[in-house]
Amino acid sequence: MNYTTLISVADLAAHIDDPDLVIFDCRHELTDATVGTRVYGESHIQNARFAHVDKNLSAPPNGKNGRHPLPDPAVFMEWLGKAGVSNNKQVVGYDASGGVYASRLWWMLRWVGHAKVAVLNGGWQAWLAAGHPVTKEVPGPKTAKFTGRTDRSAVDAGHVLNNLNSPAMRLIDARSNDRFRGQNETIDPVAGHIPGALNRFFKDNLDTQGRFKSAAELRAAFAPLLGNTPASQTVHHCGSGVSACHNLLAMEIAGMKGSRLYPGSWSEWIADPSRPIAT
C-alpha cells in the first residue's frame, strides 16, 4: 500500500487486516472535546485506534500559541510509535466531519517525514453507507519504533508578519466566509482576518456526498487564488491550524504541491494586539 492523499472506502475495506496498516479514528467536536472519545467507544472501524485532536494532535495552549498548537515533534513521534506506527506503515485517518480532523493527522505525519498517510474519502459516513462492519473492540498494544524529522512545512507568526505585503507569500484562510469577514464570530474573542489573506472555506473542497471534489475541480478553484504565486509560497491558516490542513490536502490532491501551514492561525495571531487585523 502506498496512499498519500486519499483512500477510498473500498480500498480500506480490502486492506483492513493488513499488518502494515494503522488506522486512526479522529472524530472530534470543537465545542465538546469529549465527543470523539465517546463515539469511538460506541463503535469504530475495525482495528482503528483513537487520535484525540486536543491531546494527541496538539499541545496544551498557553493563551499565546493558539487553540491547537503543534506538539513537540519528539512527543508526537513517541505517541505514533506507541500506536504501532513505524516508518514503513501505511496510516489512514478518518472522521465524521468531511476529513477536517483527519487532515490534521495527515499533515502532521507529513510534517515529521511520513508520506504514507491518507484520509478516508467520505469518512465515517461513507464507511457506514457502504455497509462495512464496525466494532467496539479496541486494538491491543502494538508498539513500534517511529523515527522522523520535521520539515519546513510550518511557518510561525513572524514569517506571516514579515511577508504580509510581499509577493513571496499567498495567505489563504480556511474559515467560513462570515468569520473571515469578521461577522458571527463565536469561537475567538476578536473578529476579522489577517490582512491580505484570501478566503477558501474548507467545506467547499467537498461534493454533496461529503467526498473531496476531483483533482481538476480543486485545481480550478485554487488556481485563481494563487495567481502566479507558486504553491510552495502559499501559506494556509484558519482559526487554530486544523481546518487549514483540509485546504493543504485539497491542493495536494489537485497536484499543487508544497504549500505550508501557519499552525497558530487566527487564534494565535490575535493574542498579540500589535498584529494588524482586517475585516
Confidence tier at 87 by pLDDT (50, 70, 90): very high
Query: For residue 183, which of 66, 278, 67, 68 has the smallest C-alpha distance?
Result: 278
pLDDT band, residue 97 (cuts 50/70/90): very high
Mean pLDDT for the chain overall:
96
Q: Label each residue of the chain as H, E or C.
A: CCCCCEECHHHHHHCCCCCCEEEEECCCCCCCCCHHHHHHHHCEECCEEECCCCCCCCCCCCCCCCCCCCCCHHHHHHHHHHCCCCCCCEEEEECCCCCHHHHHHHHHHHHCCCCCEEEECCHHHHHHHCCCCEECCCCCCCCCCCCCCCCCCECCHHHHHHCCCCCCCEEEECCCHHHHHCCCCCCCCCCCECCCCEECCHHHHECCCCCECCHHHHHHHHHHHHCCCCHHHEEEECCCCCCHHHHHHHHHHCCCCCCEECCCHHHHHCCCCCCCCEC
Task: Report pLDDT for 140.
Answer: 86
The backbone torsions φ and ψ at residue 212, rounded to the nearest 5 degrees and listed phi first, read -65, 140
Tell me the percentage of the chain whose pLDDT exceeds 90. Answer: 94
Tens digit of each residue's pLDDT (9 = 90 or more) over 109-126: 999 999 999 999 999 999
Average of per-residue pLDDT across 152-160: 95
Name the catalytic one among 154, 238, 254, 256. Answer: 238
- Look at residue 61 and tell me whether its pLDDT is greater than 90: yes
Average pLDDT over residues 31-58: 96
The predicted pLDDT at position 84 comes to 95
Percent with pLDDT over 70 in the chain: 100
Phi/psi zone of residue 162: left (φ > 0), alpha (ψ -120 to 50 degrees), beta? alpha
Assess whether 238 carries a catalytic annotation.
yes
Nearest CA to 174 among 274, 272, 93, 107? 107
Cα gap 85→52, rounded to integer Å: 16
Categorize the per-residue pLDDT at 142 as very low, low, confident or very high, splitting at 50, 70 and 90: confident
pTM for the full predicted model: 0.96
Q: Write down the pLDDT at residue 143.
A: 86
